[in-house]
């Protein structure tokens, strides 16, 4: 019986070490996720939205520039 108790004690020690290693790994992964993860909600909410009128105005200005370049015979602006 002494051998069986020794084996059980050794197994408990190993289980403790394995659980500690798993906890350390999880903490490391969590620290990396903070750096490389998705942006926080605060940063995502600051995104600017262009109104339909502004989009239309910008589109018309771009079309005028391209038309002028085409009339001038240029392929690129």
**What are the boundaries of each domain within the chain?**
1-37, 50-77
What mean pLDDT is predicted for residues 15-23?
Answer: 94
52/64 Cα distance (integer angstroms): 18
What pLDDT, on the 0 to 100 scale, is given for residue 19?
A: 94
The DSSP code sequence of 62-73 is: HHHHHHHHHHHT
What pLDDT, on the 0 to 100 scale, is given for residue 37?
A: 60
Which of 35-39, 42-46, 61-65, 66-70 is predicted most confidently? Answer: 61-65
pLDDT digits (tens, 9 = 90+) for 23-33: 998 888 877 76
């Amino acid at each position: 019986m002494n051998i069986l108790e020794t084996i059980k004690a050794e197994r408990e020690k190993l289980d403790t070490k394995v659980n500690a290693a798993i906890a350390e790994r999880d903490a490391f992964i969590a620290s990396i996720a903070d750096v490389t993860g998705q942006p926080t909600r605060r940063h995502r909410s600051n995104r600017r939205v262009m109104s339909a009128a502004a989009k239309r105005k910008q589109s018309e200005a771009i079309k005028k520039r391209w038309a002028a370049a085409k009339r001038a015979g240029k392929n690129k602006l």
